[in-house]
Amino acid sequence: MTHTNYRLVKTLLLLFLGIWLVFTLFPLYFMIVTSLKPVEEINRMIPTFWPQTMKVNNYAGIFADPGSLKSLVDSVIVSVTNTALSLFLGTLAGYALARWIRGVIGENLAFWILSNRMFPPVAVIIPMFFLFDSMPWGTDSYFSLIVLYLVFNLPLATWLMMVFFRDAPRELEEAAYLDGYTPFRAFFKVTLPLVFPGMISVAMLCWIFAWNEYLFANLLTGTTVKTFPVHIPTFTLGSQTLWNLVMAFSLVAMLPPVILFIILRRYMVRGLSLGVVKG
């Protein structure tokens, strides 16, 4: 490629990226702007792209409302517990599938586990409701959501952890056996640290799913337990929607995933297997 050609391609690429950035970031921008407007300004026919009157007290309103705060707490309880369970069970199951259950049985079992994620959730929504309704803890409880989200997160966690464990060299475990570690101790001393970055990624994926889930949460819970995606629609009143509060609350709910992702990013991309084999 000639020099001019290269510059042309680079310019076009930057142009494309610019357009793409505007396309993806504009909704976010508009959310932020809307969260700072008073309701009257939002309802104008010609929208304003910069608030004429800044109203920071939308945020104050969110934090003053006990319902909003409780929904965030509920979301934290459900998502964190579910993530912990998914990660714990998924890691053990993934290890078993990667190391001990081999051949045709292992392959089919692994595929079956993953296939649990393939059906559209709407297909089971009504059976799920009746199933949970017949349980002693009922539909409207932390437990029901935590267990229900396992249906979606556990296959994902199991499958991903299985892949990470398969990539972790078996020889390292064998070296640990020869050092005198029992399989149980070798797993914690050698194998688990190797897949640690993978566990962080899996935890993030599970947690974001549980944090954002709306469909089942809306169907099963809403009174005793109310996660934030279920709480957002309550800003819709009979006559109008309080978009400023919706946006302010959504932005608050977005913060934890964004912050966590920024903190954990470096684990999610790091491959610890570097330097295991001879160079």
Strand partners, 241: 236
Question: Which residues bind to other proteins, rule: CB under 8 A?
Answer: 169, 171-172, 174-183, 185-186, 189-190, 193-194, 272-279
- Closer CB to other proteins, residue 112 or residue 177? 177
How far is Cα 140 from Cα 135, in angstroms, rounded to an integer?
11
What Å distances lie between residue 181 and 112, 167, 272, CA to CA? 33, 21, 21
Q: What are phi and psi of 119, to 5 degrees?
A: -75, 150
Residue type, 224: T
- Closer CB to other proteins, residue 10 or residue 270? 270
Closest CA to 212 of 149, 269, 275, 151: 149
Q: Six-digit token pair at 210?
A: 């549980």
- Closer CB to other proteins, residue 20 or residue 177? 177
- Closer CB to other proteins, residue 61 or residue 169? 169
Q: How far is the CB of 161 from other proteins (least distance, A)?
A: 17
Q: Six-digit token pair at 33?
A: 């702007």
Q: Are 225 and 74 in contact (CB under 8 A)?
A: yes
DSSP code, position 100: I
Q: How far is the CB of 176 from other proteins (least distance, A)?
A: 7
Q: How far is the CB of 268 from other proteins (least distance, A)?
A: 17
- Closer CB to other proteins, residue 46 or residue 277? 277
Q: How far is the CB of 129 from other proteins (least distance, A)?
A: 46
Q: How far is the CB of 174 from other proteins (least distance, A)?
A: 5
